[in-house]
Amino acid sequence: MLVRWPVPIVLSRGAFVPLGVFALIFVAFSGGSKPSVLAAAALLGGVGGVVSLIVHELGHVSVAKRLSGVRPEKVSVMCLGAAAHLEGSYRNGREQARMALGGPEASFAFALALSLPVFFPAPAGLEVAALALALLNVAIGVLSLLPVHPLDGHKVVVGLVWWAVGSEERARRIIKRVGTGLLAVDLSFAVLLLAERPALGATVIAVAAVAYGQKRFIRAPRTA
């Protein structure tokens, strides 16, 4: 266990996987060859990446604490990223959409906070490190909003449709009909990006895979 506030944050043995993935990504984009530079990039990417995932999940926790029917239990860091474990059920689609947006909002807010050194006098190394982590959090926030199950974007769409039609079951049927087409578009974009910009494409796919994998492990609230 890492900390207990605002909920327990648990590090499993698999937490070294996302730490290593983010470390390799930052090393690949560091453009340096000196061991000290590569080590600094690996440390920044590994630790900063895991912290960024935790911040994203704490965004969901923050929203859950304001909902009467949902109770956050803990945040786990595992081999596929991080996950907020929740108990309870949503009362309506608006609550589900609000919960889903909590993570991306936290990532964007963290990115904004990290970008502040760029606008004030600061050592060049600090500016580069802060900007790199800010961009990582923007990427996490944007990718999590893709309307692909089980990412946050899919939950937002389901929640909004549920809110509009008044039934979660009906909303999921509607979303399922268009889901295949959206997935095809997302995959086509990923393949195109990988072909045109291999390093960037591989990074986007890796971050998306982490985001997708971590959401598969969330014990999402079920409506009664």
Tens-place pLDDT, residues 94-142 = 999 999 999 999 999 999 999 988 888 878 888 889 999 999 999 999 9
Asked if residue 16 belongs to a domain, the reply is yes
Q: How far is CA 22 from CA 44, 49, 182, in A?
A: 9, 6, 27
Asked if residue 1 belongs to a domain, the reply is no
Question: The whole model's pTM is what?
Answer: 0.78
- Map tokens 């993570």 to a residue: 103
Asked if residue 135 belongs to a domain, the reply is yes
Asked if residue 146 belongs to a domain, the reply is yes
The least confident of 33-42, 58-67, 125-134, 176-185 is: 176-185
Q: What is the extent of the structural domain holding 122?
A: 9-216
- The C-alpha atoms of residue 171 and residue 27 are separated, in whole angstroms, by 43
Asked if residue 54 belongs to a domain, the reply is yes
* pLDDT confidence band for 32 (50 / 70 / 90): confident
* pLDDT higher than 50, residue 148: yes
- The C-alpha atoms of residue 130 and residue 127 are separated, in whole angstroms, by 5
Mean pLDDT score, 19-40: 88
Looking at residue 20, its pLDDT comes to 93
* pLDDT higher than 60, residue 211: no
* pLDDT higher than 70, residue 222: no
Looking at residue 189, its pLDDT comes to 67
Looking at residue 223, its pLDDT comes to 30
Write the secondary structure of the chain as one string of H (helix), E (strand) and C (coil).
CCECCCCCEEECHHHHHHHHHHHHHHHHHHCCCCHHHHHHHHHHHHHHHHHHHHHHHHHHHHHHCCCCCEEEEEEEEECCEEEEEEEECCCCHHHHHHHHHHHHHHHHHHHHHHCHHHHCCCCHHHHHHHHHHHHHHHHHHHHHCCCCCCCHHHHHHHHHHHHHHCCHHHHHHHHHHHHHHHHHHHHHHHHHHHHHCHHHHHHHHHHHHHHHHHHHCCCCCCCC
* pLDDT higher than 60, residue 34: yes
Q: Of 72 and 199, which is predicted with more confidence?
A: 72
Asked if residue 134 belongs to a domain, the reply is yes
Other CB atoms within 10 A of residue 223 CB: 15
Asked if residue 4 belongs to a domain, the reply is no
Looking at residue 220, its pLDDT comes to 43
Looking at residue 171, its pLDDT comes to 77
Mean pLDDT score, 186-199: 71
Asked if residue 14 belongs to a domain, the reply is yes
Count the domains in the chain: 1
